[in-house]
Structure 1
């Protein structure tokens, strides 16, 4: 029986390294130590390492990954820590984010960034993942740590995550691409591919770019 996919998505066999083309040549094959900075409207800035996270329960979940350009890779097994646990057990008591700091900016070591509401990040299925299909996360897919937000398009699941910033508004966020390409939430079920263009239109604009983008990212890993 064929798997039901979200609106406008099609399934592919591989799970390619993918993203905005300007980040393709920022690939680093070497694995860097885990370091996660907590900044923004907080009383006490923190920097977390693997030892800090090791105090939390580890979670394994099978989730599909849906790229905003319309391809999906189904049935991936992820392992890591629930973002909610990291927030409730470490960030909230130790960094003390301000009560109105509900806009969260997530930054990567390669300069990429995304924004999500705190309420979305506290969902049951949102992970800070370090393992994919039983193996330590490789550099191509975001080592040493990445966000996984399965209910959102992959553009929100920041690879190589290095900084989490909590802010009272979204004025500190600078989009990594043209503004029309982003959405403040990017929920897959609602086809929130853009905040200004209907999602179904972008399916057809993005699809011709998928194969060339996959080839570009492959070349930069050699």
Structure 2
């Protein structure tokens, strides 16, 4: 039997899941782009998804670990390595001598994740456009999404449309409301370290997250594509 990270339980299938996913997924534009901006780049720009054909394709088989405590195993993702995307499109646009401290990934649904370069540039982090041999559907992040297998799922932004390259902590991207504090993410979110929460031990916060799995799955199913 496969060993799961601490506090994780196997789930059947790969459910659509997230506190905001009571809404249907956003429509896919005719010509999708990833906008590049932020204080660490000289000028803002856009990368058309069609341009990703310049980069080598790769495939990984990896588990997906939700911070709420469930794990979907052996998912087959296809796409391009984010590290290759970064070298091709981001590095040439950087301000001379700048140190990149954070990357902000934004989805068309308005959801963002803030990731440190040491995590985002790992070899197994993809910009994925296919899952289990098929193009991504709306429920799982079409047309393209981030996939970071060693971090909790909230890092793996769906419907990716923008990458903000920062030379300091992007405080404007960190939620300040009560709910944001309640489910505050860890800066690294590494599953094998159980970094579920920014302020509370992962072990201590497990019961809270497990308690919200069922209601969130119900709401997500109602908002799923085509329902």
Q: Normalising by the residue count of structure 1, what TM-score does the alignment of the two structures yield?
A: 0.93
Aligned with 1:5: secondary structure?
coil
Runs of 4+ with deviation above 6 angstroms: none
- Give the gaps of 5 or more residues in structure 2: none
Partner SS, residue 25 of structure 1: coil
Structure 1 residue corresponding to 2:214, chosen from 207, 211, 216: 211
Residue equivalent to 1:31: 28
Contact 2:64 / 2:73 at 8 angstroms: preserved in 1? yes
CA contact (8 A) 1:113 1:175 kept: no
Residue in 2 that maps onto 1:179: 181
Tell me the CA shift for residue 44 of structure 1: 2.4
Query: Larger deviation: 191-200 or 96-105?
Result: 96-105
SS at structure 1 position matched to 2:23: helix
Bigger shift: 32-41 or 185-194? 32-41
Structure 1 partner of 2:193: 190
Report the CA distance between 1:203 and its aligned residue: 1.2
> What's the counterpart of residue 84 of structure 2?
85
Deviation at 1:197, TM superposition (A): 0.6
Q: How many residue pairs are counted as aligned between the two chains?
A: 218
Judge conservation of contact 1:23–1:110 (CA < 8 Å) in 2. no
Please report the TM-score for the alignment, with normalisation by the length of structure 2.
Answer: 0.91
Q: Please, what is the CA RMSD of the aligned residues?
A: 1.5
SS of the counterpart of 1:105? Answer: strand
Residues 162-201 of structure 1 show CA distances to partners (whole Å, capped at 9, x for unaligned) of 1110111112322385234211110101000011111011
